[in-house]
Amino acid sequence: MSGGQQGMTREGALRLEFFIIGLGLFALILIFQPFSLTLFAVGSVLVVLAGLINNLLPMAQPGVKVRSVITIGMVVAMIFCIVILISIAAAHYYGVFFLNPPDPNTTTGKIQLNTPPFYMQPFVWSVAAVALVLAVLIAAMQKSKT
């Protein structure tokens, strides 16, 4: 970048755009390949990730600051974490209110009854911690900007 130019160059914006579109195409290739269920699972995760990263496509313009792209990416990731937490809670409460309780006389029922509640699972706390860290980082980036 030259001294007078701010933000991404034309080549940098084009690379970002190609990366975003390429990630989506790669994910689709992994989903529709007929060889491996593991590659299918990786492709399924990448499709969700590519869909979220697609929100950055309007930012792939010359002159847009990389810091802005990173901030928007962090906001999208934080929203995704919050949606995951809401989805897990909604699925739990759907089961509580609309499904029959597990039968304690069966092995499956005993396992289900001995499983800790959703809010005690390490995954849920990890996602909540990531969302909190992203929120703090976004606030710190905005505060340092002013």
pLDDT, tens digit, for every residue of 92-119? 899 889 988 889 999 999 998 898 888 8
Residue 26 CB partners (closer than 8 Å, separation 6+):
46
For 32-60, the pLDDT digits (tens) are 999 999 999 999 989 998 999 999 999 99
Rounded to whole angstroms, how far apart are CA atoms 30 and 122? 29
- C-alpha distances in Å from residue 127, one per residue of 110, 133, 138: 28, 10, 16
Q: What is the pTM of this model?
A: 0.76
Distance, CA of 53 to CA of 133 (rounded, Å): 19
Rg from Cα positions in the chain: 21
Rounded alpha-carbon distances, angstroms, from residue 33 to 4, 23, 28, 41, 91: 47, 15, 9, 11, 31
